[in-house]
Amino acid sequence: MRVLLIDDSRLQRAMLRQMVVNQYPDWEVADAASCNDAREQAGAGAFDFITLDINMPEENGLHFLPELRGLCPDARIAVISANVQSANQAEAREHGAQFISKPVNEEELLRFLAGETA
């Protein structure tokens, strides 16, 4: 399985990566610090799971989500943010993504990676 972690915070990416590899040491985990970086990586190869932050420099994750969905139509996507406003959660779901709040609960992330729907 291939996972893409999109978050401008290096610390957050490191924490998410640790959660993934603890459970799935054989999975390939890539990360992107911006939507542009993610755009390039998603365009170059398919991912099975993608996590997407909202509040990032240059481009808002929710604005990028429809394009990301187009680039990776088969990926399971989770929007991960502390911006837990109902409108943001609804917008994520409209584009077929789950919503996971920060701080990320490891069990919740693992349920997402196990393919369970929130």
Nearer to another protein, 5 or 56 (CB): 56
| Phi, psi at 100, each rounded to 5° | -125, 130
CB within 8 Å of 110: residues ≥ 6 apart = 19, 23
Per-position x/- string for 65-84, each x denoting binding to another protein as judged by CB under 8 A, each - no binding: ----------------xxxx
Nearest to 37 by CA among 62, 64, 2: 64
Binding of residue 55 to another protein (CB under 8 A) = yes
Which of 85, 93, 116, 118 is the binder for another protein (CB under 8 A)? 85
How many chain residues are in contact with another protein, going by CB under 8 A?
Answer: 25
Write down the least CB distance from residue 28 to another protein, Å. Answer: 19
Nearer to another protein, 67 or 101 (CB): 101
Write down the least CB distance from residue 83 to another protein, Å. Answer: 5
Binding of residue 12 to another protein (CB under 8 A) = yes
- Give the Å distances, CA to CA, from 111 to 1, 19, 44, 55: 15, 12, 27, 24
Q: Where are the alpha helices (DSSP H) in 24-56?
A: 35-44
Q: Which helix H or strand E contains 68, and what residues bound it?
A: helix 61-71
User: Using CB under 8 A as the criterion, which residues of the chain lie in contact with another protein when the complex forms?
Assistant: 8-12, 14-15, 18-19, 22, 55-57, 81-88, 101-103, 105
